[in-house]
Amino acid sequence: MTLRHYLRPTAFVDAPFGHDGKVARLAGGMLWFAAVERVTMDGNRRVSAELVPVERLDELLALGSEAERAWRNLTSPRAPLQLRERVVRLDQPQVAGILNVTPDSFSDGGRFDGGEAAARAGFAMAEAGAAIVDVGGESTRPGAKPVWEGDEVERIVPAVTRLAAGGTAVSIDTRKSAVMAAALGAGAAMVNDVSALTYDEKSAGLVAGVGCPVVLVHHLGPPETMQQAPAYDKPVLFAVYDWLEARIAAAEAAGIERSRIVVDPGIGFGKNVQHNLDLLNGLALLHGLGCPIMLGASRKRMIGALSAEAPADARLAGSLALALKAVDQGAQLLRVHDVPETVQALRIWRGLRDAALVPV
């Protein structure tokens, strides 16, 4: 029997004061946890789950090098992201604004299909508090068809150029190395790849050569087919963990430093509503990978499914609920459409955390 142990932080406390040796800080952020759920898998089958208090750390580390590595990853601070001259700290949650320069994105397709209009929207996001503006020129909604790279470049370069020249930290949302190269040349400073560098064999080498941060997004199949009865051999949370772990290893093998890798569980990318809910409920497990976590759940279909089929432009409240669920589990980056509202929600969250961390 081949067993594997996973550690999910839980039993979060408001503050560490008076709990010496009983709590641990999660990934150098603003959360402390008092226990981990130790889940044991035999292949694709979960055989046990046990809550282990942090004060019984020796029991966890006795499980072997795998558990030691997971614990080290859970409790090691995440390095800030260097985006050209901008530094994005990850000891507190940050917002990445979604800027779709496409005619067919599921939520805002066609709104910003010109460079000037897109740039104005991106500057507004930055002014509202977005640490990063994520520019995309190809829709990856379920059922979307691929876009020729030349068209994608033509869509994104004007906006990227204007935003970067104005001092905004820009990420490029693409699967194609040619588009990555054009965007990085125009001033983008990070790559957000929904294929996790699997779509284009040149992408990993390009990212490694440039030395920029990259977001690896979990997916199950291409956009054209990913939502056709998605299924997993093991519980989705652990399937996504294992898949991202393999993609991190592949990125490192290509020369990308782990400190520059961000992971995203890919809400809606080959998942049904139950899969998405399971991932959000267990999101803290992914800290065991040792990389910052980005969550992109803004306006996603699952919100409509849980709220009387609300259309994409009426899913703000649901988006905020998912965003706060994520930061309560230590997610460092939120990729969102509604920047001012999300930033306000995070400021309130931060105020509550700051108050809890003042000794009384």
User: Mapping DSSP to helix (H, G, I), strand (E, B) and coil, where does residue 244 land?
Assistant: helix
Is 300 among the catalytic positions?
A: yes
Longest dimension (CA), the chain: 60
CA 135 – CA 157 distance, rounded (Å): 9
Is 335 among the catalytic positions?
A: yes
Q: What is the DSSP string of 222-236?
A: -TTTTTSS---SS-H
Q: Which of 300, 301, 315, 353 is catalytic?
A: 300
The sign of the CA dihedral 156, 161, 166, 170 is positive
In contact, 93 and 129? CB cutoff 8 Å: no
Beta bridge pairs of residue 263? 216, 293
Number of helical (H) and strand (E) elements in the chain, helices listed first:
11, 14
DSSP code of residue 309 = T
Three-class DSSP labels, 183-214: HHHHCCCEEEECCCCCCCCCHHHHHHHHCCCE
Nearest to 173 by CA among 104, 240, 271, 98: 98
Which residue has 């080498």 as its token pair?
205
Encoded amino acid at 161, one letter: T
List the catalytic residues. 300, 335
